[in-house]
Structure 1
């Protein structure tokens, strides 16, 4: 009878997979021995495997290159990284090794852009696509970039007032802009139209009214963002078709328009059962854009994508120890971890997001069904279901045999939403965070980016400084 944890995984999924395999009864992630990390750094532990960032960037570039070559697409492709997914310098340093561009969403992003320019991580040929609703400081910072000579800064107009606000701050330079479409949301949403952007039917009239006769402004980009990302659904293809109709109408009025930004990125792996045909999706997008433009006899646009989670998400992980088991009734066993889901993986609590979750050790032990609980006193601090099996199964708890579990592909949003470096619910300390890289010979190197938060750090934030 197959009762081992390995048997469960092996029977349920194709295993091993590209990034996951075993060394005896312990888990390897990209050939990293996770138990060695535990032995060296302890738990709870956050980590970032930097090569995964470059790997995903170059995969996407390859998909678009193949699709464009196959269809004879004459436009160019530009990969942008969305800073909001993770603003850390170590992420930027790795991402911008790959000749990509940057998409911003708030004022402080521009300060990061200026820092990257100063350090030579990006240059004058790097597109800076400025998205989001723009308050005064964001406008000021965008204007500073343009006035400083960064001609590839493209503020994407979100509402009718923004263009005038930008032009007030850039009195002598020519300004290249984009316009964001306010796409319709999926039927299950509580509202019909995105709060961001300008409605489909209003874009061409807005161009004629505010841009067409203004010699200081050059419209370069139409921005199309779908909140649910690029997925093979009737909803997505219908919205893309509507977007292309607007692009064609706008292109006929505006000769300088030459780029289509298809924001709203690719999904990332959230289960060992995850399936998504990236190449098919890229092929189909490129084919639909080319077909629509050819039929309308307008040139195809250059393509911009804004990939945030896809860029950085699959580089991140978290490891916890199961420190206790509580049998609360005849059906529910609670495995308590040495940290908190609310504070370290906030999306698992806030939007019921699921990550790849696997035991790190004891794969040859028998398994049991459990619930996972965090350390806070909040009833919502738990993780109790996996998409593939509607439950969590782990090696049986044994007080004498420590059990470690890993959550993978957690690299996007969790640190910023969780308030990195700040206060956390019930004052649960922020885990140690390490960076993992490989040198040119493939030799692994690790370093501590931030230590585990100490009581003194928290007391200082709370105003309990010794004076």
Structure 2
């Protein structure tokens, strides 16, 4: 007697169809907001409109909002191919304004008799158009720059105006010179003071003092010197080692005292004008920041009492970005404070220390790069295809089927809410037995395929039971992983999100459209590179929970493109990207709003194949000539026709001028 399971599969399919229809009707924009936590990490710049598209408000709570999906569609009609990095200079300006406003409020609240001057660390993003935009929007606030190398110093001197005129006053532009220094670095920095810059050389090693002294004497330029202190306060997260005795940069307390004596011996103690410290990037806990400020403020007081002419206290970086929107310190992707808390604690701690010592408060400086630059960069890419779990309706089982197949069918048919864990174990055992039988020739290839098909059906049935449960044991959690789809994305993780690959940095990722539809797929993302690390399999999770190992996405429609956005990527990612598999820089557009619309302020074309090959010392002309010789040899041997050789050479020549990324079927007209 044969078993006929079709009624089971039909019932299951009908139920699934009804559930999908019901879910589609009940799914709301608010459901998408909660699923992707956009209000947590995106406020006040990103939200979802009633059409189910992400909108961008570059000026925050004011100004024009742009439909991101419509913007991307318009860019593609201009033959700008995906992936595209979209920069919003107005977000950059808004971040600067918010930072200064927070310090202004804190200074007023605590009656602080000093001022605040921010500097942007160029290492965060050295790209010309971004730095120029930042200098332009930062000029009214007298925003300075921080450099850590000779190339960055060259950028700063040619980009930052020596004199900045704000509504209040005109001041020399602040230029903080960190990093290791040689004679050329120091000499250039000192000479820049002749142009009107307030250039401060921050000492990272005691040996630099002797060099600064010698060069300043030669040039007859009085230097402004800072000292970077290694604090005892420990940072948090992956950059916690930026402090302490084993920190890469800075001087210990004993070395600071030696520096003071050295400057005294040169009769230049009054050149010591700045105390600097850094407790690491992305500091998630406000407690750590407060402890570091308290320690640094006390060092500042003691150095002042020793006769140093200190005017500045540079608190370095560390102001974190809330990548997962949880507003907690449970992981490195968030923080338990806001920008105003940060400013309040810095101002209050420094004021208290200086008031107790009865000394003048310093001008406060911060080197906030991540907090300024992250939000302005949005990376848009398309999904090229997917690899779905091999779950299909169970096959019809005949009476004469192999016992292992009948056992798997019976297991599938009997799984319910009471026995699913036990029967899942049975399914695993039967699958392993099927593989063993196949290896010893007791099972045919078709029979093994039928066994595996039933195994996957068992997994899917168990998953339908457990996915609605609040807690799932670790063993059963693996079912969700094996039933996760793989979405192939037109992107290189190594080029566009290197921090995710290198240090497991989380970035918000979500569709930019179809957000009024239920995302019924669980997926991970696989990039274009031939590397098993080229994937994204960890995603932000609400409320500071550990990262999710899947992303909720929509089923693909072969007739429509599917666009995803990776947000908060404006800091570090562009400059740290590499050429793995020779995928180059992406297309970049700068979008500025005006009235009710927008304009493309800058378009920077992504790398062509010729350009990335040149970076690895290949000449496109020589390559083309080599291929031409190969085709001539093939023609002589009648291995290729003349028409085929001509087509091959034309494709090769055209390809050299093309974008390194792929064209989807509907992108044939898009050229870089």
- The alignment's TM-score, normalised by the length of structure 2, stands at 0.64
Show the counterpart of 1:270.
Answer: 323
- Aligned counterparts of 1:219 and 1:282: Cα–Cα separation in 2: 25
- Aligned counterparts of 1:442 and 1:213: Cα–Cα separation in 2: 62
Q: Which residue of 16, 20, 35 maps to 2:46?
A: 20
Q: Which residue of 45, 53, 56 maps to 1:29?
A: 56
Q: Which residue of 288, 304, 317 maps to 1:235?
A: 288
Show the counterpart of 2:616.
Answer: 462
- Aligned counterparts of 1:87 and 1:54: Cα–Cα separation in 2: 17
**Post-superposition CA distance 1:434-455 (Å, at most 9, x none):** 111134x464111453213222
Higher helix share: 2
CA 1:387 to 1:54, structure 2 compared with 1: closer, same or farther past 3 Å? Answer: same
Are residue 104 (structure 1) and residue 143 (structure 2) matched? Answer: no
Are residue 384 (structure 1) and residue 537 (structure 2) matched? Answer: yes
Q: Which residue of 309, 330, 337 maps to 2:489?
A: 337
The answer (yes or no) to whether the contact 1:6–1:363 under 8 Å persists in 2 is yes
Q: Which residue of 327, 339, 343 maps to 2:388?
A: 327
- Aligned counterparts of 2:541 and 2:298: Cα–Cα separation in 1: 39
**Post-superposition CA distance 1:407-459 (Å, at most 9, x none):** 1111111111015xxxx1111243211111134x4641114532132222122
CA 1:251 to 1:212, structure 2 compared with 1: closer, same or farther past 3 Å? Answer: farther
**Post-superposition CA distance 1:42-81 (Å, at most 9, x none):** 4111111000111011101111111111111001111111
Q: Which residue of 570, 575, 581 maps to 1:416?
A: 575
RMSD of the alignment, in Å? 2.6
Q: Which residue of 347, 351, 364 maps to 2:499?
A: 347
Question: Following TM superposition, by how much is the alpha carbon of 1:87 offset from its aligned partner in structure 2, in angstroms?
Answer: 1.5
Are residue 256 (structure 1) and residue 283 (structure 2) matched? Answer: no
Show the counterpart of 1:285.
Answer: 346
Are residue 360 (structure 1) and residue 512 (structure 2) matched? Answer: yes
Show the counterpart of 2:204.
Answer: 158
Are residue 372 (structure 1) and residue 525 (structure 2) matched? Answer: yes
- Aligned counterparts of 1:303 and 1:117: Cα–Cα separation in 2: 20
CA 1:357 to 1:220, structure 2 compared with 1: closer, same or farther past 3 Å? Answer: same
The answer (yes or no) to whether the contact 1:124–1:150 under 8 Å persists in 2 is no
Show the counterpart of 1:403.
Answer: 562
Q: Which residue of 13, 32, 35 maps to 1:9?
A: 32
- Aligned counterparts of 1:212 and 1:293: Cα–Cα separation in 2: 27
Q: Which residue of 126, 141, 144 maps to 2:173?
A: 126
Choose 317-326 or 380-389, whichever is displaced more. 380-389
**Post-superposition CA distance 1:315-370 (Å, at most 9, x none):** 00100111110125641311010111121111111111111212111112221211
CA 1:151 to 1:358, structure 2 compared with 1: closer, same or farther past 3 Å? Answer: closer
- Aligned counterparts of 1:229 and 1:160: Cα–Cα separation in 2: 28
Q: Which residue of 116, 121, 124 maps to 2:159?
A: 116
Show the counterpart of 2:333.
Answer: none
Are residue 427 (structure 1) and residue 582 (structure 2) matched? Answer: yes
The answer (yes or no) to whether the contact 1:182–1:195 under 8 Å persists in 2 is no
- Aligned counterparts of 2:270 and 2:518: Cα–Cα separation in 1: 67
- Aligned counterparts of 2:266 and 2:557: Cα–Cα separation in 1: 75
- Aligned counterparts of 2:290 and 2:180: Cα–Cα separation in 1: 26
The answer (yes or no) to whether the contact 1:173–1:216 under 8 Å persists in 2 is no
Show the counterpart of 1:61.
Answer: 100
- Aligned counterparts of 1:205 and 1:332: Cα–Cα separation in 2: 60
Higher strand share: 1
Indicate the structure (1 or 2) with the bigger Cα radius of gyration.
2
The answer (yes or no) to whether the contact 2:163–2:171 under 8 Å persists in 1 is no
Show the counterpart of 1:176.
Answer: 224
Unaligned runs of 5+ in 2: 1-21, 58-64, 328-335, 391-481, 543-547, 623-672
- Aligned counterparts of 1:342 and 1:269: Cα–Cα separation in 2: 23
- Aligned counterparts of 1:56 and 1:223: Cα–Cα separation in 2: 23
- Aligned counterparts of 1:5 and 1:333: Cα–Cα separation in 2: 24
Show the counterpart of 2:414.
Answer: none
CA 1:435 to 1:71, structure 2 compared with 1: closer, same or farther past 3 Å? Answer: same
The answer (yes or no) to whether the contact 2:176–2:199 under 8 Å persists in 1 is yes
- Aligned counterparts of 2:134 and 2:601: Cα–Cα separation in 1: 18
Show the counterpart of 2:368.
Answer: 307
Which secondary structure does the structure 1 equivalent of 2:522 belong to? strand
Are residue 204 (structure 1) and residue 257 (structure 2) matched? Answer: yes
- Aligned counterparts of 1:434 and 1:461: Cα–Cα separation in 2: 23
Question: Following TM superposition, by how much is the alpha carbon of 1:309 offset from its aligned partner in structure 2, in angstroms?
Answer: 1.4
- Aligned counterparts of 2:241 and 2:197: Cα–Cα separation in 1: 39
Question: Following TM superposition, by how much is the alpha carbon of 1:246 offset from its aligned partner in structure 2, in angstroms?
Answer: 1.1
Which secondary structure does the structure 2 equivalent of 1:103 belong to? strand
The answer (yes or no) to whether the contact 1:5–1:395 under 8 Å persists in 2 is no
- Aligned counterparts of 1:270 and 1:283: Cα–Cα separation in 2: 22
**Post-superposition CA distance 1:184-226 (Å, at most 9, x none):** 4447757953110001343134212334652486111100211
CA 1:392 to 1:211, structure 2 compared with 1: closer, same or farther past 3 Å? Answer: farther
Which secondary structure does the structure 2 equivalent of 1:458 belong to? helix
- Aligned counterparts of 1:298 and 1:235: Cα–Cα separation in 2: 25
CA 1:135 to 1:213, structure 2 compared with 1: closer, same or farther past 3 Å? Answer: closer
